[in-house]
Chains A and B, each alone.
Chain A
C-alpha cells in the first residue's frame, strides 16, 4: 500500500480504470475506484481513523488510549484484524508498519497516527505533531565497535535504517560519509566489516553490547508522537481536539507521577 500510494503511476492506473468505464463497464470501474480508497468517502466529521505503528508502540498507545477512556475490545485486537473500532464508535484504528504511519496520515487516509519521532524525522512527512506521548522512549545514536577511534572521522562508512537522519547528522558536522542503507540487523554491519559505525535506535543498549558496539553519541531522543493530517485538523476539528485533550490529560498525569 505504501509504495502504491507514493507511486504516481498508481493514480494513473486508478484513473485508467475509471475512464475505461466509458466502454460500457462504467459501473464496475466506479466501484473498483471506490474500493481503492474507501476512507476517502468517509466524510463523517465524528469518526477519526487513527493509524498506529505496529509492535511495542501499538501496545503502549492502546494502553494510553485506554486510560484516556478509549476502549478497544481485547477480542477485536486478538482477531488480528488490521482495522478495529473502539467501543463507542468514535475511532477506527488501523495497524500498519511504523514507516507507513506518516504515509497514511500525510495522504489523509488516516486522520491521526501514533508513531515514533525517529520515523517522522526520517520520513520528513508534512504532518502536524501536536503531542509528545512520552511512550516507547528511546534514542537515535551513533554506535561503533569498542576501541574504535570514535572521533577520528576521515571518510566514514555508516550502516543504518535511517539514511536521512544519518546524512543530516554527519553533514552538519562536515564529516564525509558513505551511507549504507540496511533494513534490519544493523548491528551486524560493523562486526562483519561492512561499515565503521551505525546509526540506529537504542532502547537499553543490550543488543549493541552483545555485538561489541558502544554508543559514541546520541543524535536525538525519540518518543511516540501523536500526528495529525493538516486537512483533518481543520475539517474534523472537534474530534481531533477531543482526542488531543484526552491524550494530553493522561500523558501529563504520567509525567507528573514520574
Chain B
C-alpha cells in the first residue's frame, strides 16, 4: 500500500518536465516533413499570385470576436494588456487579414490576394480528436472578388496543394452553399433557437430528429416526398433532388450557384476530388455563400475548410466580397508521415560526413568546414566528447 502511494505521487507531481495538454514538440523527420509541406503550400500559393502576409500573433480579442463570431472566438487564449484591454493569442488568421484589407490596404487595387502559414492557438479544441491547442495552418484569402470565378480559384488552389502532396486519390472536398440552409430557415420562419436546433440536426445527419423537427415546424406536410438526409451528399443528382424538395427562391438561387460550380468542375474533369454535401452546415454565422471542407483518407477529421465570407470586412469599415480557406498542416503531416512509414524507413538526417578535429588545429578544422559549406555540402563537426 505504502509503495503504491509513493508511485502515485511521482506520477502526478507537478514538475518542469510536464507539457501543457495539447502542446507538443516537432522535430526530426516529422519537422522536416511539415516544413516541406508548408513550403509546398506557399509555393503553390505563390504560383497563383498570392502574396505572403504575416499577421500579429497577439491581437485584441475584439478583433476575433467580430471576425470569427463570439462562440468560436471564446475558444481563444485570452489575457489582458497593460491598460486592461482584452488580448488574445491568434486563434485564426483570416480576421486579421480582413482587417488589414479594409485598413492597411484600403487604397490598393482589388482584388487582393494574400497567403500565409502561421500557428494558431485555441484553448479548447473543437472535438476530442482534434486535441491540439497550437496548430499550424496554411491559407489563402482572396479579397475584393465575388462570383464564381473567385470561388473556383480558391477551390483549385486547395486541390492543387493536395494533388502535389500525392493525396489526390484519397481526397474529397465537399461543397455547399450556406444560403440553401438560410433560405429554408427563412421559409420556416425559425427563431434563433429553432434555427440552431435545425442546424445541429442537419450537422449530425440525425434523420429521425429531422423528421420530427419538420413535422413540428411546418403546418402543411412538406411536398414532394420525404426529407432524407442520407441523400444530401453526392454529385450532381443531389442538386436535382434538392430542387425537387426545396422551392423557396433564396435556396434556389444558392442551388443554381452550386449547379454552375459543379458544371465547371465537370468540365475540368475534377469530379473525383469533389462532392456536394448539403448537410455541411457548420460556420453558418460566418460564411455567406460557398463553403467547403477537405477530407483526406487516413485523417479521422477534416484537414481543411474554407468558403465565402462577404460580411466579414464590413466589421472593419468596408464591405467587400471575400473567399478563402485554410489547410491544417499538422493533420496533413500526420497523414503523410504514416504513409511514409509504410513505404520506407525514415531517412537518416545524420548523413553529413563528420569532420574529425585534427589535433588542436581548430582553425584548420573550421577552414575546411567553411569551404564545404561554401560548396553547399552538409558538414557535421565531431566534438571532442563524441563517441
Contacts and interface: CB of A to CB of B under 8 A. Distances in A.
Interface residues of B, number: 49
A22 B29 contact: yes
B29 A19 contact: yes
A30 B206 CA distance: 40
B174 interface: yes
Contact of B22 (A8, A18, A22, A30): A8
A128 B338 contact: no
Given A19-B28, A234-B275, A235-B172, A41 B342 contact: yes
B165 interface: no
A11 B174 CA distance: 28
Interface in A10-67: 11-12, 15, 18-19, 21-22, 24, 26-27, 29-30, 33-34, 37, 40-41, 43, 45
A29 B132 CA distance: 24
A244 to B, nearest CB: 5
B28 A22 contact: yes
**Majority SS at the chain B contact face:** loop
B33 to A, nearest CB: 11
Contacts of A158: none
Contacts of A228: 205
A233 B205 contact: yes
Interface in B285-313: 293, 295-302
A169 interface: no
Interface stretch (A70-78, A90-98, A104-112, A204-212): A104-112
Given A8-B131, A27-B345, A109 B300 contact: yes
A127 interface: yes
B207 interface: yes
A6 B21 CA distance: 10
A122 interface: no
B380 to A, nearest CB: 13
Contacts of B23: 8
Interface in A111-155: 123, 125-132
B128 A6 contact: yes
Nearest to B343: A30
A91 to B, nearest CB: 18
A245 interface: yes
B300 A229 contact: yes
A83 interface: no
Nearest to A238: B234
A131 B207 CA distance: 6
B376 to A, nearest CB: 22
Interface in A219-235: 228-231, 233-235
Contacts of B128: 6, 102-103, 106-107, 123, 125-126
A29 B348 CA distance: 13
A21 B346 contact: yes
Contacts of A175: none
Contacts of B126: 126
Contact of B29 (A11, A18, A34, A45): A18
A222 to B, nearest CB: 13
A237 interface: yes
B233 interface: yes
Given A40-B298, A43-B170, A109-B300, A131 B208 contact: yes
B222 interface: no
Interface in B306-353: 337-338, 341-342, 345-346, 348-350
A241 interface: yes
Interface string B240-257: 000000000000000000
B26 to A, nearest CB: 8
A127 B205 CA distance: 9
B24 interface: yes
Interface string A237-258: 1000100110010000000000
Given A18-B30, A109-B300, 11 more contacts: A6-B128, A12-B24, A19-B30, A22-B348, A40-B338, A107-B129, A128-B204, A130-B229, A230-B302, A231-B300, A235-B296
15 contacts: A6-B128, A18-B30, A21-B29, A34-B341, A34-B342, A37-B338, A41-B338, A108-B300, A128-B205, A132-B207, A230-B295, A230-B302, A233-B233, A235-B295, A237-B275
